[in-house]
Amino acid sequence: MPDQGSKNNNEVPTILISDSNGSSLLCYLEQLIPISGTEYALLTPVDTPVSLFRLTEGGDPELIERISSTEPILAVADVVLQEHELTLVRSAVTLTVTGELEEPEAEELEEEEYEDEAETYELLVTFRVENDEYGLYIPLDPFFVVGKLENGEAVLVKGEEFDKIQPLIEYEIEERGGID
């Protein structure tokens, strides 16, 4: 599993980011980036982000991009994760998992990875709901969140605003020599 626990609260400050629905996500503050008089924060979740996929026999897993936090599929995922002493958290931006994740053996990792166009995922658990099979996968690439600091709080940046500032943030990070 990805080493999400290598950082601790003594080394990197944390910040709570909220979305327009009032959901929040606790993140590590990676970098502050001022753009046109506004402070943007590049963040990574404290808990392990996960993605939900529908699994089909013989086909590639299908990413489920939008899911209601009250969706019955997530209730089943909760039960399955509890068997592994993990908890599914319905956060802003992404689903996350809390608890102690085990490090897989190298040969297991190769068998359980899924590569989707630009990202690589590691299978965490699978489960069935009615006649469909689902899997929770951990993205192996870094998972970044962009927030705008307003009145001492971080607000999720998305949509047109994100599209507008993304290249500026990428340029600034490149100029700084990357992410710490």
pLDDT of residue 110: 47
Q: What is the mean pLDDT of each run of 10 residues along the chain (180 residues)?
A: 45 87 90 91 94 87 82 90 92 89 55 60 90 91 90 88 91 80
| Token couple for 171 | 């340029």
How big, in percent rounded to 5, are the helix, strand and coil portions of the chain?
A: 20, 45, 35
pLDDT of residue 2: 40
Q: Is 32 left (phi over 0), alpha (psi -120 to 50) or beta?
A: beta
Gap between the Cα atoms of 106 and 113, Å rounded: 11
Contact 138, 2 (CB under 8 A): yes
Domains contained in the chain, CATH given: 4-45+142-175 (2.30.30), 48-139 (no CATH)
Q: Which pLDDT score, from 0 to 100, does residue 109 have?
A: 46
pLDDT digits (tens, 9 = 90+) for 60-86: 888 888 887 778 899 999 999 999 999
d(C-alpha 160, C-alpha 43), whole Å: 19
Is residue 159 within 8 A of residue 110, CB to CB? The reply is no
Secondary structure element (H or E) that encloses residue 132, with its range: strand 132-139
- CA-based R_g, the chain, Å: 17
Looking at residue 180, its amino acid is D
pLDDT score for 104: 52
